[in-house]
Amino acid sequence: MRNRFAGFAGGVILCLLMALPARASYVGEYAVGETAVCGFFNTYQPSTGASFTLASEAVDVYKGSSATQDADDSGLTIDDDFDGVTGFHLVCVDTSADGTFYSAGDNFTVVLTAGTVDSVSVAGTAVLSFSLAQSSSFARLGAPAGASVSADIAAIEGQTDDIGAAGAGLTAIDLPNQTMDITGTLTTVSTATAVTTVNGLAAGVVTAAAVANGAIDAATFAGDVDAEVLSYIVDDATRIDASELNGDIDSLTFTVAGYVDANMQGISGDTAAADALELQYDATAGAVPSTGIVDRGTAQAADATTLTIRAAADIGDAAGNTLLITGGSDGVGQSVVIASSSGDVLTIAAWPDTTPTGTITYELWGTAAGSAGDGATAQEVWEYGTRTLTALDEDSTTIDLTASFVGGVTTLDEDTTVIDLNSSFVGGVTVFDEDSTTIDINATTIGTVTTATNVTTVNGLAANVLTAASAASDLTTELQNGLATATAVDALPTNAELATALGTADDATLSAVADLSGNLTMIALLDSAFLNCTVNTANFAGSSTTLACIVTDRDGGAVTLASGDLTGLEVRVTSGAQIYEGRFINSTTWDGGNSELQITLSRALPSTLADAVTAVIR
């Protein structure tokens, strides 16, 4: 009985031993914080010994010989039948999940706390063990910097391969930052940091080119070097007088830290002149009276016929002024005459090229009395189409309307020297208020003149124009007094004498006035000029839209420019057949070899300018 019982008992024990491995697998020693301490274990069917699936399992970790377990098992994972292999299981521990529990110097055992193999319980079976930084060798080596100690050694070999036997490879090596004594010769040192002492530099070793900008500053020099340099500079009578230098420095004032105060009265000692010069060039919004700019700034908006200038502008009536677009995306460099204005809105007929876009900057230039404009002549206007002049208020030297019909002039208020209406019919002049020297209306018929004031001379009246009904009583009395005696009648000049005298007086007066007007116009042009231009066709023939200039200043001195200079300014002809013609500059190219400026105009002149013709640029 005892043998059979013993045999039975032995069979039971064999069955249980075959369900799991005999002992836990030790997988090694790891550094604290290792994220993957893993190992495999097997399970077998108790009755047959064949590999069998583990069911309803649970695992936990014990620390050393203590009953303390990992509190939350957050770093534990088990993969049953790993990779589909029955009875082959993987368990892993992430020691970084609980830094307090997984501490250095301890052993850890992974235990199945629940689970069955073919309905046989395997709870309490140890399946895996490992240690963290426990052995003496680990204490001596410490945790590897890389994946392992061998990986660290390989990294060291990679850094030291260039040294070679007996340091043969040290002729060209990139040394890390460290403290060392080097005896011998260093041929090339790219960077030397915190060098405390350098002995025996050969003459001429340190040159200006060898020292990088900013490499040597005040902190680089020891106190004795500072004293030696200072002594060299100030103690020798041929160099710097220290007392005089200190006195000059002490006299400087600094209202704003880092900036020396200066009295900017460099123009004749006059602060007003300096302010005017600054205003001219600093692009401040507003008027610049010294250059004729009524207003400048950044426009609010633009469309096909208007420009809304800066909101703060107060320019009054801008009609007749010239608008120049100086900045933006499209339409830069265009100039146009203002037709009318209301507040900050300027109205024009149309833009010469395109409506300006982008951030539009502008200059509004005043139109000087007596200066020739850049618009179409009256003849050009009538060639383009019939016009009805409802109001003609004009201050120019001459108004010459040559047309087959001029009608509907309701008001003619004129202070000019000569008004020449050369027409087959002039009608509808309801008010003619005129203070000029001569009004020449050369026409077949003047329809209706309601009022003519201050008319000093009327020549060439047709027969029977003055009738008895049109003569006032004082005129009749005056005629009667003049005809009272024969002597008075005999003293009267004949028609021929009157015609000769009046003709001579008219010609002389008109000639003098014309000369005076021309001189005044030329003076106005020259006074507003920035530079003088003499046309030179020797190197650049030019065309109606291009010319080459020898540029001088107002005193005749030579001027050197660059391509793009003077763009947007006006070229005004001052001699030759096209005198007074003016065009704005679209672009420029400087020909340094011939010292001349090649100019492209905004629109064509009547013809190509001849050699030596003069002009002004303003």
User: Under the phi-then-psi rule, with left for phi > 0, alpha for psi from -120 to 50, and beta for the rest, what region is 480?
Assistant: alpha
Element (H, E) at 510: helix 495-527
Structural contact between residues 549 and 558, judged by C-beta atoms closer than 8 angstroms: no
Lowest-confidence region among 101-105, 172-176, 301-305, 450-454: 172-176
Lowest-confidence region among 172-181, 302-311, 502-511: 172-181
Distance of CA 372 to the CA centre of its chain: 37
The average pLDDT across 180-200 equals 69
E strand residue ranges, 221-313: 293-298, 301-302, 306-308
Name the residue among 565, 534, 564, 562 with its Cα closest to residue 549. Answer: 534
Judged against a pLDDT cut of 70, whether residue 96 lies above it is answered with: yes
Instruction: Please tell me the predicted confidence (pLDDT) of residue 569.
Output: 93
Question: How would residue 74 be classed by pLDDT, with cut points 50, 70 and 90?
Answer: confident
The average pLDDT across 97-108 equals 90
Name the residue among 429, 461, 423, 463 with its Cα closest to residue 448. Answer: 429
Judged against a pLDDT cut of 60, whether residue 16 lies above it is answered with: no
Instruction: Please tell me the predicted confidence (pLDDT) of residue 409.
Output: 53
Name the residue among 110, 76, 67, 78 with its Cα closest to residue 96. Answer: 76
Residues 474 and 285: their CA atoms lie apart, in Å, by 62
Instruction: Please tell me the predicted confidence (pLDDT) of residue 90.
Output: 95
Of 160-164, 182-186, 210-214, 311-315, which has the strongest mean pLDDT? Answer: 311-315
Share of the chain above pLDDT 70, in %: 55
Tokens of 464: 């029977």
Bridge partner residues of 421 (DSSP) = 401, 441
Instruction: Please tell me the predicted confidence (pLDDT) of residue 221.
Output: 61
Share of the chain above pLDDT 90, in %: 35
Judged against a pLDDT cut of 60, whether residue 308 lies above it is answered with: yes
Q: What is the number of H-type helices and E-type strands within the chain?
A: 10, 31
Residues 572 and 374: their CA atoms lie apart, in Å, by 10
Q: Would you call 73 helix, strand, or coil by DSSP?
A: coil
Residues 39 and 25: their CA atoms lie apart, in Å, by 7
Instruction: Please tell me the predicted confidence (pLDDT) of residue 384.
Output: 52
Element (H, E) at 576: none
- Model pLDDT for residues 412-449, shown as the tens digit of each residue: 555 555 555 555 555 555 555 555 555 565 555 565 66
Q: Would you call 293 helix, strand, or coil by DSSP?
A: strand
Residue 364's alpha-carbon distances to 48, 168, 317, in angstroms, are 108, 80, 12
Name the residue among 370, 373, 317 with its Cα closest to residue 340. Answer: 317
Instruction: Please tell me the predicted confidence (pLDDT) of residue 487.
Output: 52
* Average pLDDT, rounded, for the chain: 75
Question: How would residue 14 be classed by pLDDT, with cut points 50, 70 and 90?
Answer: very low
Instruction: Please tell me the predicted confidence (pLDDT) of residue 571.
Output: 93
Residues 194 and 188: their CA atoms lie apart, in Å, by 17
Judged against a pLDDT cut of 70, whether residue 80 lies above it is answered with: yes
Judged against a pLDDT cut of 70, whether residue 492 lies above it is answered with: no
CB atoms within 10 A of CB 557: 8
- Model pLDDT for residues 331-343, shown as the tens digit of each residue: 999 999 999 999 8
Instruction: Please tell me the predicted confidence (pLDDT) of residue 25.
Output: 85
Bridge partner residues of 198 (DSSP) = none
DSSP one-letter string for 180-223: ----S--S--S---S------PPTT-S-TTTSPTTSS-GGGS-H
The average pLDDT across 149-175 equals 68
Instruction: Please tell me the predicted confidence (pLDDT) of residue 597.
Output: 95
Instruction: Please tell me the predicted confidence (pLDDT) of residue 182.
Output: 67
Backbone φ and ψ of 507, nearest 5°: -60, -45
Residues 413 and 434: their CA atoms lie apart, in Å, by 6
Instruction: Count the residues in the chain.
Output: 618
Instruction: Please tell me the predicted confidence (pLDDT) of residue 371.
Output: 44
The average pLDDT across 587-605 equals 94
Instruction: Please tell me the predicted confidence (pLDDT) of residue 10.
Output: 36
Who wins on pLDDT, 456 or 287? 287
Judged against a pLDDT cut of 90, whether residue 519 lies above it is answered with: no
Tokens of 618: 């303003």
Judged against a pLDDT cut of 90, whether residue 368 lies above it is answered with: no
21 contacts: CB under 8 Å, gap ≥ 6: 41, 42, 127
Judged against a pLDDT cut of 70, whether residue 528 lies above it is answered with: no
Instruction: Please tell me the predicted confidence (pLDDT) of residue 330.
Output: 95
Instruction: Please tell me the predicted confidence (pLDDT) of residue 1.
Output: 33
Instruction: Please tell me the predicted confidence (pLDDT) of residue 369.
Output: 41
Judged against a pLDDT cut of 90, whether residue 203 lies above it is answered with: no
Instruction: Please tell me the predicted confidence (pLDDT) of residue 325.
Output: 95
Instruction: Please tell me the predicted confidence (pLDDT) of residue 4.
Output: 32
Who wins on pLDDT, 46 or 272? 46
Judged against a pLDDT cut of 50, whether residue 138 lies above it is answered with: yes
Instruction: Please tell me the predicted confidence (pLDDT) of residue 202.
Output: 72
Question: How would residue 292 be classed by pLDDT, with cut points 50, 70 and 90?
Answer: confident
Backbone φ and ψ of 340, nearest 5°: -160, 165
pTM of the model: 0.27
The conformation of residue 608, written as its DSSP 8-state character, comes to P
Judged against a pLDDT cut of 50, whether residue 191 lies above it is answered with: yes
Question: How would residue 9 be classed by pLDDT, with cut points 50, 70 and 90?
Answer: very low
- Model pLDDT for residues 27-67, shown as the tens digit of each residue: 989 999 999 999 999 999 999 999 999 999 999 999 988 88
- Model pLDDT for residues 456-488, shown as the tens digit of each residue: 666 666 677 667 776 666 766 776 776 665 555
The average pLDDT across 539-561 equals 92
Element (H, E) at 513: helix 495-527
Q: If you search the block for the tokens 């025996």, which residue do you land on?
A: 200
| Domains, the chain, ordered by start | 2-141 (2.60.40.10), 210-262 (no CATH), 284-365 (2.40.30), 381-496 (no CATH), 529-617 (2.40.30)
Question: How would residue 410 be classed by pLDDT, with cut points 50, 70 and 90?
Answer: low
Structural contact between residues 60 and 73, judged by C-beta atoms closer than 8 angstroms: yes
Name the residue among 458, 447, 452 with its Cα closest to residue 434. Answer: 452
The conformation of residue 450, written as its DSSP 8-state character, comes to S
Q: Which amino acid is at 507?
A: D
Who wins on pLDDT, 370 or 154? 154
Q: Is 550 exposed, middle or buried (0-12, 13-18, 19+ CB in 10 A)?
A: middle
Instruction: Please tell me the predicted confidence (pLDDT) of residue 8.
Output: 32
